[in-house]
A and B are shown apart, each in its own frame.
Chain A
Amino acid sequence: MSELDEFKATYFDECSELLIELEEQFIAIEEGDQDTERLNAVFRAIHSIKGGAGAFGFQGLVGFAHSFETLLDYVRDGRVELTEDVITLCIRSVDLVADFVTAAQENRELGADYGADEKRQFDLLCNPDAAEGEEEADGEDFDIDFTPVAVNVGNDEGADAAEASESDQFEESPLEDDLNAALMDNIEDSDEEALAEEIANADVVFDVDGAIEQDMYAQEVDTEDSDVIEMPLSDCWVVVFRPLPALYERANDPLLLFREMSIIGETVVRADIRDIPPLQDFEPFQPYCSWTLFVQGDDVTEERIREVFEFVEGDCEIEITPPGGISEQQAAQLVGDISASAKVVVTPDEMTPVTEEPDVQADGEEVSFAALAGELGVTGLGEDNAADSAEPVVETVADEPIAKEPSADQSVSDSAQAPSEPEEDKMPELEVQSLSDMVEVEKASAPAASAPTAPMPVESDTPSEPVAGSIPAAVTPKAAPSKSPERAPVQSIRVDLDKVDRVVNMVGELVITQSMLTQQMDETLREKYQELVRGIEVLAQTTRGLQDSVMAIRAQPVKSVFSRMPRLVRELASKTGKKIKLEMVGEQTEIDKTVIEQLSDPLTHMIRNSADHGVESIEKRQAAGKPEQGTIRLSAEQAGGNILIIVEDDGAGINRERVLAIAKERGVVAPDQTPSDEQIDNLIFAPGFSTATEVSDISGRGVGMDVVLSNIKKIGGSVHVRSQPGRGTRMTLRLPLTLAVLDVMLVSVAGCPYVVPLSSIVETIQAGKAEFGRTPSGARLLSVRGEYVQVADLATRFAMHTTAEEDDRFVVLCEADGSSKIALVVDEIIGQQQVVIKSLEENYERIDGIAGGTILGDGQVALIVDVQGLKSGPNHRNAA
């Protein structure tokens, strides 16, 4: 049960990622980028969501996603035109899917007619004539669709593991499952003939169901069948690839190599499985399978082919023969030789091995050991595909050994010699269409197949079907033109953030310990123990590297926050009737996850502010001679140890007169004061401040910009505004790269170390040179460039006895909250450094004026001064 819950949790995680992706893709599509790849991506995402929903029985979600998916498929095919309306419908539907997902997550049921409108629209779009019928068919599907899969996945250990980490295995194409179900039944029948017959029947199921399900399946199946083109072998580079055990021990995956190859040129892969011994002799760690690759393409050179195999050099045997190097006859022989071989077409787009599939009649034989072994391999590949491998046959047989059908065993031994038997010639080739929507399968299979845990030779085996003597040429289905080679899949694991945090903390300790050691090194030690010194230097380097790497683990591109903004802008634009364009730059800039989490609110407020107050209405813009469409530019960049996030608009700029008037009215600024332009600009961050004459429902309630400031302060950042009247406003957020490490100024007061966060320090002044004034209560004020600043002597505030001469002390001028400042008087300024923040409350309690503790290089604890707290602290009037 708990396992299932875990899977569910993973599924929901993935859903939220997919939903974000969907939104991104649709926004790009809306902007006119209607690339096929995008359409495929959205289709995949919806398909994944649907698949998982089916596995967990979220019927509402399945139903909705299914209709949506159908529409997307039609759009992809060009059968439905991607008009603005359709896009809007899609974007709205993504929201609905999100609702369904949330509901499922919270175990709620949305009303039966939730999303029914949209669903009807989908159906209407897809099938203007017979929307009703379509719906019926849908209903049927769901029953058949997913039930068998649950069993299927459950049976397969590998699949279980994969399930936790792979999204795509949730996907399933109803088609295969039906076939599966049919085939699973078959296999129970030990009579081979009957089996063959059954499988033949299964084929019927395939077709029929495909037809019922969605025409496109059937259609594609048909096309593929008739579309088999022979590849002239004499034009091909022939690469014979024989892995050695080492290849698998190093967790290499032939499939990935084949895929690489397929980027170079059109590639047909054949697996040679003749060497696979009978089961009793079978060594799971031996590579029994080798492959022959036929690569065709203008750019193919031996060098490029070698490059592909560069990483496995020495772990395999490779023979490369240039085109024409073998005669047609030889080639034919070569292929013919590989009698019981499997052929796979790999294209960059479609990594699923595609077996050729013929009449399935003789298939009974197919459940031979050779095939089976191949299939076992397929399990390796297929586990992830598991649910979805669009290869019914392969799928099925993969199930077979798992199902532990006696017949399977029997046929294994029976047919162990199958490859050498003459009948093999009669063996049919199996061709399974690589439906274009299989793309997602391949994505899944690629990373999973390379799972280093299974260096099983069989794994390497591609879905194999014994192939008859003739060269069964396989051709990339036209349905999936692969314009851009698929990016190599990013291999990733999901790790609990807590675990990462633990590592981050430990590395923090390590850094401190290391610097402690370094500090212990004095000259005599250095001379005496040179080796030790060198060791410590290496340790220092390694530690730094480790720290960087660990921080990088937590770093995420700001994209995850940025991606929510286009939508916000779109909504704001439609609400305000303005035309606004959002430009985003530097979305890939990486920043600590905790910072990112804190970034969403401030950024939303800032964008709102820009859209509402910054960008003018169309009329005003026209009057000002600006383009109708306003631009908001959101950018992120790294600057030293900081990340700068800039929100810029080309609007009217801050109306300083109004700001000042309001500030005076509200008492934020004294009536006789004349702040500088910059100071006025920054007044918008004062709490409760709003310049909007009318409170709109977007912004203007005066909460917002001060929230921005306080949120950003909380994560140790700062905000800065610059405005040019009539030209626009630029707000700059300066954020620390990470929260785990704080840049501080180390000071001492009465011999005790304190640290002041660097982000709050404005400047430091020697006390002897500072101008102090006194108030009647005895409190001191510091005069800085005509401004009077409250002074807090840390020695008195912290009730400590300092022996330092007053004039030798230092003043650290800090910015406490926005524009208000406080001057801290300390005995000594020691220097700047990075520290790891520690909590005092963990073992003790909160202390006034102290924000926390940290451990210095010498192991001593230093306290972090809470600048904000001191400002508002209780005992202001301690005379120095």
Chain B
Amino acid sequence: MEAIEVSENGHEPGGANSIQLIAFSIGEQVYGVEITTVREIRAWNGATPLPNTREYVRGVINLRGTIVPIFDLRARFGDGKTEATKNHVVVVLSVGDKWIGILVDAVSDILTIQRDDIHNVPEGDNMDAELLNGIITHDNRMVGLIDLDTVVGKENVES
């Protein structure tokens, strides 16, 4: 899986120790995904809604002939549906053998971080621990590392 692996001991050989993230924001909060999973970043241009499916899936878009589902990350985190405008951004990612898009407010930065700097998600809210792989600090701000498998995965469907 291309999702970020949090190494337990933090000591991996070579330059594998540093990774790059694409950082994006939902509201005030910054999140990140590993840059190698990102396939494309595009502006929100509507999607064809899918009936009878998870409420945080905004629909599907046509990505050069392939149908790609768009996950509304805000809704996924339980903060309600994003009022999407042309200023919102879809980050197309490859997760496993599938391509998906996540709808976020804005893409802010590319961060280079050390694996050693990744903190574990504190025990507590179950959902956080599931949705995040870890937390890092950048510019004194917290950046949550998204666990894409969980975001996309079926296990966590709530209705």
List, in ascending order, chain A residues with CB within 8 A of B48's CB.
Answer: 752-753, 853, 860-863
The 5 A-B residue pairs with the shortest CB-CB distance, nearest first, are A798-B51, A844-B69, A861-B48, A848-B52, A509-B65
List, in ascending order, chain A residues with CB within 8 A of B41's CB.
Answer: none
B62 at the A interface (CB under 8 A): yes
Check if B65 sits within 8 Å of A840, measured CB to CB: no
A85 at the B interface (CB under 8 A): no
Q: How far is the CA of A839 from the CA of B60 in the complex (A)?
A: 11
How many whole Å from B153's CB to the nearest CB in chain A?
Answer: 11
How many whole Å from A550's CB to the nearest CB in chain B?
Answer: 15
Q: How far is the CA of A251 from the CA of B117 in the complex (A)?
A: 67
Give the secondary structure class of B's interface.
strand
Considering only residues 848-867 of chain A, those with a C-beta below 8 Å from chain B are 848-850, 853, 855, 859-863
List, in ascending order, chain B residues with CB within 8 A of A855's CB.
Answer: 62, 65, 67
Tell me the A residues contacting B by CB distance below 8 Å: 505, 508-509, 512, 752-753, 797-800, 838-840, 842-845, 847-850, 853, 855, 859-863
Task: List 10 A-B residue pairs with CB atoms under 8 Å apart, sorted by A's residue number.
Answer: A509-B65, A512-B65, A798-B52, A799-B52, A838-B65, A838-B67, A840-B67, A843-B98, A844-B60, A848-B52
B68 at the A interface (CB under 8 A): yes
Check if B66 sits within 8 Å of A797, measured CB to CB: no
Check if B62 sits within 8 Å of A847, measured CB to CB: no
List, in ascending order, chain A residues with CB within 8 A of B67's CB.
Answer: 838-840, 842-844, 853, 855, 861
Check if A853 sits within 8 Å of B60, measured CB to CB: yes
B19 at the A interface (CB under 8 A): no
Nearest-CB residue, chain B, relative to A506: B65
How many whole Å from B140's CB to the nearest CB in chain A?
Answer: 37
Check if B62 sits within 8 Å of A859, measured CB to CB: yes
Q: How far is the CA of A800 from the CA of B53 in the complex (A)?
A: 12
With contacts A843-B100, A861-B67 taken as known, whether A800 is within 8 angstroms of B51 at the C-beta atoms is yes
List, in ascending order, chain A residues with CB within 8 A of B49's CB.
Answer: 752, 800
How many whole Å from B47's CB to the nearest CB in chain A?
Answer: 8
B43 at the A interface (CB under 8 A): no
Return the contact of A838 from the options B66, B98, B99, B100 (Cβ within 8 A): B66
How many whole Å from B70's CB to the nearest CB in chain A?
Answer: 10
Check if B52 sits within 8 Å of A840, measured CB to CB: no
Q: A843-B69, A843-B98, A860-B48 are in contact. List 18 more A-B contacts (CB 8 A).
A: A798-B52, A843-B68, A844-B60, A844-B100, A845-B53, A845-B154, A848-B51, A848-B52, A850-B50, A853-B48, A855-B67, A859-B62, A861-B47, A861-B60, A861-B67, A862-B48, A863-B48, A863-B50
Pick the most buried of A505, A849, A861: most chain B CB atoms within 10 A of its CB.
Answer: A861
Q: How far is the CA of A847 from the CA of B157 in the complex (A)?
A: 14
Q: How far is the CA of A799 from the CA of B99 in the complex (A)?
A: 26
B61 at the A interface (CB under 8 A): yes
Q: How far is the CA of A508 from the CA of B62 in the complex (A)?
A: 14
Nearest-CB residue, chain A, relative to B154: A845
Return the contact of B61 from the options A797, A798, A861, A862 (Cβ within 8 A): A861
How many whole Å from A283's CB to the nearest CB in chain B?
Answer: 49
With contacts A853-B60, A861-B60, A861-B61 taken as known, whether A842 is within 8 angstroms of B66 at the C-beta atoms is yes
Check if A847 sits within 8 Å of B51, measured CB to CB: yes
Considering only residues 90-111 of chain B, those with a C-beta below 8 Å from chain A are 98-100
List, in ascending order, chain A residues with CB within 8 A of B154's CB.
Answer: 845
- 1/0 contact trace for B31-56 toward A, CB 8 Å? 00000000000000001111111000
Q: How far is the CA of A861 from the CA of B58 in the complex (A)?
A: 13
